[in-house]
């Protein structure tokens, strides 16, 4: 998907900026929330909030690529567990993945889905709710993986 691997310094600076934004309540400039969108029931009792709930105004930088999913990888944001609104964490994650380091070149958040501390599930990467899309948490294709991100540490 992209061929850039961030240096340790770039990673630490980005993590520090993202953490500071979460702790101080600072948000990326486009953080006006879109109107609420009802969750989608994907199977009895399992609801997923569409991307429009937190980032309908944050489109991917490039088209989404489809790919079959064969296994699951679970990550976490390593941020505070006491966030006021999970949309803040997801929007900062989007900013970190797409804008904090232009050489990173990621087109969207790398995770197909986010899970909040209350168990609510949110669509991450654009299109993930309707079809399997390529994941990217390393600067390249994860190879048939679904990436889930737990919000917090």
Q: pTM value?
A: 0.74
- Contact criterion met (CB below 8 Å) for 124 and 52: no
Instruction: Express each pLDDT in 96-126 by its tens digit.
Output: 888 877 777 788 898 999 999 999 999 999 9
Q: Is residue 16 part of a domain?
A: yes
Q: How far apart are CA 137 and CA 147, in angstroms?
A: 8
Lowest mean pLDDT segment, chosen from 15-24, 62-71, 122-131 = 15-24
Element (H, E) at 108: none
User: Of residues 6 and 65, which shows the higher confidence score?
Assistant: 65
Within a domain: 3:
no
Instruction: Evaluate if residue 27 carries a pLDDT over 70.
Output: no
In a domain, 131, yes or no: yes
Reported as a single tens digit per residue, the pLDDT across 40-94 is 998 898 999 999 999 888 888 888 788 888 888 899 998 888 988 999 999 999 9
In a domain, 136, yes or no: yes
pLDDT at 113: 94
Query: Domain limits at 124?
Result: 8-150
Residue 2: inside a domain: no
Asked, for residue 1, whether it belongs to a domain, the answer is no
Contacts of 72 (CB under 8 A, 6+ apart): 145, 146, 147, 148
Question: 1 or 130, which is more confident?
Answer: 130
Nearest to 101 by CA among 2, 14, 30: 14
* pLDDT for position 32: 64
CATH code of 131's domain: 3.40.80.10
Is the model's pLDDT at 24 over the cut of 60? no
For the chain, the domain total comes to 1
87 domain residue, yes or no: yes
Mapping DSSP to helix (H, G, I), strand (E, B) and coil, where does residue 88 land? helix
Q: Is residue 107 part of a domain?
A: yes
């Amino acid at each position: 998907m992209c061929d850039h691997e961030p240096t340790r310094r770039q990673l630490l600076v980005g993590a520090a900026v993202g953490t500071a934004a979460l702790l101080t309540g600072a948000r990326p400039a486009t953080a006006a929330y879109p109107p609420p969108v009802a969750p989608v029931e994907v199977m009895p009792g399992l609801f997923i909030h569409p991307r429009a709930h937190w980032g309908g105004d944050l489109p991917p930088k490039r088209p989404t690529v489809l790919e079959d999913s064969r296994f699951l990888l679970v990550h976490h944001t390593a941020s505070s567990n006491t966030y006021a609104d999970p949309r803040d964490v997801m929007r900062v994650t989007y900013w970190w993945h797409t804008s904090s380091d232009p050489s990173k070149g990621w087109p969207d958040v790398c995770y197909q889905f986010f899970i909040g501390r209350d168990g609510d599930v949110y669509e991450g990467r654009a299109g993930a709710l309707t079809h399997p899309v390529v994941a990217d948490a390393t600067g390249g294709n994860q190879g048939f993986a679904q990436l889930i991100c737990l919000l917090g540490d």
